[in-house]
Amino acid sequence: MNLTIPYHLENFIGGNFIGPLSGSFIDNINPATGAIYGQIPDSNEKDIEVAVAAAKKAFPAWSVLPAEKKFIILNKIAELIEAKLDELALAETNDNGKPLWLSKQVDIPRASANFRFFATGIMHFANESHQMEDKAVNYTLRQPIGIVGCISPWNLPLYLFTWKIVPALAAGNCVIAKPSEVTPVTAFLLGKICKEAGLPDGVLNIVHGTGPSCGEAIVKHPDVKAISFTGSTKAGERIAALAAPMFKKLSLELGGKNPNIIFNDCDWKKMLTDTIRSSFGNQGQICLCGSRILLERSAYEEFKKHFIPIVKKLIVGDPLETTSKQGAIVSKVHFEKIMNCISIAKEEGGTILCGSNAVKLQGRCENGYFIEPTIIEGLDQNCKTNQEEIFGPVVTIQPFDTEEEAIALANATNYGLAATIWTQDISKANRVAAKVQSGIVWVNCWLVRDLRTPFGGMKNSGVGREGGWEALRFFTEAKNVCIQF
Ligand code: NAD
């Protein structure tokens, strides 16, 4: 089966590809060219109703299918994703604007890894038991919840979509999933792959549409018992408000304003290489990007001397060219938001050290949305630029004098997703890691991922953790059985 992309995408419900019941579609735009190249279903609560009915029908058989059999299907999907790497990577790049080499090296392989990881994980998932000396024994059943909703963002489209749906499926649930309306294509193609791999009809239903119409219909549906959401803090707040009165299980992976704390005693070569990635990888559109670079004062000028020339050389270009280090910003709306944030930074008194301009390319990409990687200094920690998530190729740099000051600056936002610490002093690294308020801390590296580790944020960056057993526990109900001797 080839992965032809039709102009009109369809929902994948009950194993069938069907258009939205309303007959309405939304334009899908390639951000590198600005051209409309397809249409996606503008689904609403009626489509969700049909998807829930399909999931309900599929649940009794899927929930009791032995782990070995689920493994075979989920692992087959992983293999098919690998086999179709080139097609999926191109689709991801055309939808999202990220460089094709990045889609090929990171996004699509990780989607396949997500399937393989939880396909095998479910075969090792064990229930706990607790013995009360000679009185009784307890064992905990971890049973599938039923029908669950998974809603994902546009920045790592297939990567994050699969990160949610696979543990849900592996744990025996049936899923109603909505990818971002900005980047729907690889999720659509995944439906075809699931069909080819023999996933039973109705086990995974992929419904396209906007947050307010399609996303909220999933959240509000009384038969959808848990919601796993990754996206902005604002949408997370709305989802939490809708779901709380219905007592749904909630996993929220939200925004970040992550500190990258650099001490002068670090390995400079590695720090500079990784800081380029953590600042501007995927055009800065990764929730884990270190958008606030905090520098020990003695390292401040030296850092600028080395960092700025490298950033100036990053080629912003056509995502299909192998030489492009920076691709397009995902959409016109997001491009305008980032440009506005740069204007605010200037109004706040920030000094632009490099970048800050839109990039006008020639030829195929002349109408695309491109922005120069931007470094700003001279801003106070309390200003908007250092408090609010920009989610683009923009970093600020700030000096600190002491370890305590570095920790205070790192913690001085409402977010708490990820932090990076650069130092050769292991005791200092441990002290700072323990005091930084974030769910994930990288020391002398960035975005090194072991899928078994807890993944998620504290404060306004989210509630709950994904990854490994955490995800399988989230997608199951724990039931304790106590037997007295
Ligand atoms: P978004 O919140 O606008 O949209 C995310 C998804 O939620 C989309 O599918 C959207 O259609 C849907 N949605 C929006 N409003 C909704 C509503 N009211 N009800 C139900 N669904 C709704 O986010 P985005 O712009 O797509 O993604 C960027 C954001 O995601 C950034 O804030 C980024 O930090 C965050 N993010 C977080 C993580 C993480 O793991 N913590 C990972 C990636 C991205």
Q: Per residue in 59-92, pLDDT tens? A: 999 999 999 999 999 999 999 999 999 999 999 9
Residues 275 and 415 occupy one common structural domain: yes
Q: Is the pTM of this model over 0.85?
A: yes
Closest CA to 312 of 393, 377, 379, 398: 393
* Distance from C-alpha of 106 to C-alpha of 117, rounded to nearest angstrom: 16
Q: Per-residue pLDDT for 3 more than 90? A: no
Answer whether residue 5 is part of any domain: no
Beta bridge partners of 148: 175, 226
The preferred substitution site among 227, 230, 338, 413 for testing ligand 1, maximizing ligand atoms within 8 Å of CB, is 230
Q: Which CATH number belongs to the domain containing residue 168 in this structure?
A: 3.40.605.10
Domain that holds residue 480: 11-254+461-484
| Overall number of domains in the chain | 2
Residues 19 and 135 occupy one common structural domain: yes
Strands (E), 119-199: 129-132, 136-144, 147-151, 174-178
Answer whether residue 278 is part of any domain: yes
215 lines ligand 1 (CB under 6 A): yes
Residues 448 and 474 occupy one common structural domain: no
* Distance from C-alpha of 110 to C-alpha of 78, rounded to nearest angstrom: 10
Residues 193 and 341 occupy one common structural domain: no
Answer whether residue 6 is part of any domain: no
Residues 27 and 157 occupy one common structural domain: yes
Burial environment of residue 294 by CB neighbours within 10 A (0 to 12, 13 to 18, 19 or more)? buried
Residue 157 Cα to ligand 1 midpoint, Å, equals 11
Residues 374 and 228 occupy one common structural domain: no
Q: Yes or no: say if 385 and 348 are a contact pair by the CB < 8 Å rule.
A: yes
Grade residue 143 by pLDDT with cuts at 50, 70 and 90.
very high
180 lines ligand 1 (CB under 6 A): yes
Residues 433 and 478 occupy one common structural domain: no
Residues 308 and 334 occupy one common structural domain: yes
Q: Per-residue pLDDT for 345 more than 90? A: yes
User: Average pLDDT of 373-402?
Assistant: 98
Supply the pLDDT for residue 1: 60
Residue 229 Cα to ligand 1 midpoint, Å, equals 7
Grade residue 2 by pLDDT with cuts at 50, 70 and 90.
confident
Answer whether residue 193 is part of any domain: yes
Residue 313: count other Cβ atoms within 10 Å of its Cβ: 10
Beta bridge partners of 228: 150, 251
Residues in the chain: 485
Q: Yes or no: say if 93 and 141 are a contact pair by the CB < 8 Å rule.
A: no
Answer whether residue 198 is part of any domain: yes
* Distance from C-alpha of 193 to C-alpha of 189, rounded to nearest angstrom: 6
Q: Yes or no: say if 122 and 67 are a contact pair by the CB < 8 Å rule.
A: yes
Catalytic residues: 253, 287
Q: Which CATH number belongs to the domain containing residue 378 in this structure?
A: 3.40.309.10
294 lines ligand 1 (CB under 6 A): no
Residues 328 and 222 occupy one common structural domain: no
B/e letters for 273-284, b = 16+ CB within 10 Å, e = fewer, are: ebbbebbbbbbb
Residues 341 and 243 occupy one common structural domain: no
Tokens of 72: 């075979």
| pLDDT digit string, tens, across residues 406-431 | 999 999 999 999 999 999 999 999 99
Answer whether residue 4 is part of any domain: no
Answer whether residue 1 is part of any domain: no
What are the respective helix, strand and coil percentages of the chain, to the nearest 5? Answer: 40, 25, 35
- The three-state secondary structure class of 457 is coil
Answer whether residue 49 is part of any domain: yes
How far apart, in Å, are the Cα atoms of 262 and each of 106, 231, 441? 26, 28, 13
Residues 345 and 404 occupy one common structural domain: yes
Whole-number average pLDDT of the chain: 98
Residues 268 and 392 occupy one common structural domain: yes
